[in-house]
Amino acid sequence: MRSLLFVPADSPDKLSKALGCGADALILDLEDSVAPERKEAARAGAAAFLAQVRPLQQRPRLVVRINGLATGLSDADLDAVASARPDAVMLPKAEGGAAVVHLDAKLCAREALNGLDEGAIGIVAIATETAPALFVAGTYRGASPRLAALTWGAEDLSAELGAEASRDAQGQFLDPYRLARALCLAAAAAANVPALDTVYVDFRNEAGLRRECEEARRDGFTGKMAIHPAQVATINDVFTPSPQAVARAQAIVAAFAAEPGAGVIGIDGVMYDRPHLAKAERLLARAKAAGVM
């Protein structure tokens, strides 16, 4: 998944607008973009949208962001949407593997009640939204086979830290958020799931978004969340492996295939060893998923 667009689930207009925007996934939001008195409308909106879109042949992946486990709202959220079988549930304010195990149990119960296969609904966790979450980022590994990706967030963390800002005057994240971002990358690698970069809220600034996407890709993120349909094309563009990257990866895979016993090879005067092979294989898998191979 390269692009995941947040859509407030209490907005029928935005839901219908989101469908044609080219995002790999839509995140139907029941949490922070929905006012407390609109939660019920958002649950109904998400359930109706899932029922309408799931049967379509060509459709984005459908993720529902529920309210956090500590809010007392997450059970009603899950009850409202589970029967419509979202591809995944996004867990905000997740605090490590224990939170994923907790949500896994809730999903097992709903799947059983609705006649779904156990594990049908995946989990995407937002791993850095609270202070305690930072200290348990390393515990996602092995928590649940449902875990499909990890992502991170700066806004809730900055509120919790009592910070005045999360970015400097040039728009770069400040230290606490760079730490959160790095922890997300390491947590995802440890758990062997993709890392997805956080949102870029300045939605009219295409150059800033592109720069942030390129920095994210450079560091190992394989996709980014969006808040506005206009951001999707840029995100898809940056996170789709380029023809040059695909060609290089294919050359590395072919060279190792030609010398099965080799631990290291040279191509055009550059050394490649086993970690490069693993990286090349992952890139080719992403290229396939993006439809450019």
Which stretches of the chain bind ligand COA, using CB under 6 A?
5-8, 13-14, 17-18, 29, 32-33, 199, 227-229
**Which does residue 13 bind out of ligand COA, Mg ion, none, counting CB within 5 to 8 angstroms by kind?**
ligand COA
| DSSP structure class, residue 241 | P
Judged by beta carbon, residue 29 or residue 87, the one nearer ligand COA is 29
Judged by beta carbon, residue 29 or residue 212, the one nearer ligand COA is 29
**Which does residue 6 bind out of Mg ion, ligand COA, none, counting CB within 5 to 8 angstroms by kind?**
ligand COA
**Which does residue 156 bind out of Mg ion, ligand COA, none, counting CB within 5 to 8 angstroms by kind?**
Mg ion
**Which does residue 84 bind out of ligand COA, Mg ion, none, counting CB within 5 to 8 angstroms by kind?**
none
Residue ranges of alpha helices (H) inside 20-73 are 39-53
142, HSE (Cβ side, Cα atoms, 13 Å): 2
Binding to Mg ion by residue 156, rule CB under 5 A?
Answer: yes
* Interatomic CA distance for residues 205 and 231, integer angstroms: 9
Compute the least distance from the CB of residue 261 to ligand COA, in Å: 50
The b/e string for 94-119 (b: 16+ C-beta within 10 A; e otherwise) is: bbbbebbebbbebbbebbeeeebeee
Compute the least distance from the CB of residue 92 to Mg ion, in Å: 6
Inter-CA distances, 224 with 152, 180, 220, 280, Å: 10, 15, 11, 21
Judged by beta carbon, residue 167 or residue 228, the one nearer ligand COA is 228
| Residue entry with tokens 């609904």 | 121
Judged by beta carbon, residue 63 or residue 123, the one nearer ligand COA is 63
- Hey, which residues between 57 and 116 contact Mg ion (CB under 5 A)? none
* Tokens, residue 152: 């991170």
Q: Interface with Mg ion by CB under 5 A: which range of 5-13, 28-36, 41-49, 256-264?
A: 28-36
Compute the least distance from the CB of residue 98 to ligand COA, in Å: 24
* Interatomic CA distance for residues 26 and 4, integer angstroms: 5
Q: Interface with Mg ion by CB under 5 A: which range of 32-40, 100-108, 158-166, 246-254?
A: 32-40
Q: Hey, which bits of the chain come out as E strands?
A: 3-8, 25-29, 61-65, 88-91, 122-126, 147-151, 195-197, 223-226, 264-267, 270-273
Compute the least distance from the CB of residue 42 to Mg ion, in Å: 14
* Interatomic CA distance for residues 293 and 284, integer angstroms: 8
Judged by beta carbon, residue 60 or residue 97, the one nearer ligand COA is 60
Q: What residues make contact with Mg ion under the rule CB under 5 A?
A: 32, 156
